[in-house]
Amino acid sequence: MIFKEKQKIKGELEIKLIDKNGKPKKIWQEFRIFHLLRNKFGWSFPRISFITGYWTEKVRYPNLITDAGKGAAASRWNGDGGEAAFTYLAVGTGTTSPSASDTALENEVARGAATVSRETTNVTNDTAVATYTFSFSASYAITEMGLLNADTGGTLAARNTFSAINVDENVDLQVTHKTIFS
């Protein structure tokens, strides 16, 4: 009998807006189909409640694991290549749809060293978690995020684009990326 495992790596992105008093702010969550159309064709849609999405306290999206991210995971698995751990999250204002061949964010505006941990999704410790809270001194319409392994440059393991999230000095943006090995 031949056994075939169906293993895959997938990314999940969660974003929250937090005011300076520590209270969550409402954020626009596109329905999955509109998010997929945005990322596949670059289309944008008006914010029409219960038609194209809804307001919530956090948004969640599947996240693209890049080709370089898959190669880096193999490198870390067997120690061949010496890839650094993916402990940095970055956000930007780029709108070009994510691609498996991406090596950087389109227009990065901030990067930070994430708090990292593991959690259980399907089996014990099968999910790598990276979380960082960005504070801004200027206004931005954040539309992309990435998971990297260096404070500048580095390997881009995951990237996503999404409907604009407006930030400024009065609000923090908390980004969590989960890499699930299932």
Please state whether beta strands 108-113 and 115-119 pair in parallel, antiparallel, or not at all (unpaired): unpaired
Region 98-111: what's the mean pLDDT? Answer: 96
Q: What is the pLDDT of residue 56?
A: 94
- Percentage of residues in the chain with pLDDT exceeding 70? 96
Q: What is the pLDDT of residue 80?
A: 78
CB atoms inside a 10 Å sphere around CB 12 = 18
Q: Who contacts 127 (Cβ-Cβ below 8 Å, separation ≥6)?
A: 118, 119, 120, 121, 178, 179, 180, 181
Burial 20-56 (b: 16+ CB within 10 A, else e): eeeeeeebbbbeeebbebbbeeeeebeeeeeebbeee
What value does the mean pLDDT of the chain take? 91
Residues in the chain: 182
What's 149's DSSP letter?
Answer: S
Q: Read off the pTM.
A: 0.89
| C-beta of residue 116 within 8 angstroms of C-beta of residue 155 | no
Question: Which DSSP string corresponds to 12-31?
Answer: EEEEEEEETTS-EE-EEEE-
Q: What is the pLDDT of residue 24?
A: 95
**Gyration radius from the chain CA atoms:** 17
CA atoms of 172 and 19, how far apart (whole Å): 6
Tens of pLDDT, residues 85-103:
999 999 999 999 999 999 9
Tens of pLDDT, residues 29-82:
999 898 888 888 888 888 899 999 999 999 998 889 999 998 888 888 787 777
Distances (CA, A) of 31 to 2, 24, 50, 180: 40, 20, 9, 22
Q: Where are the domains of the chain?
A: 9-181
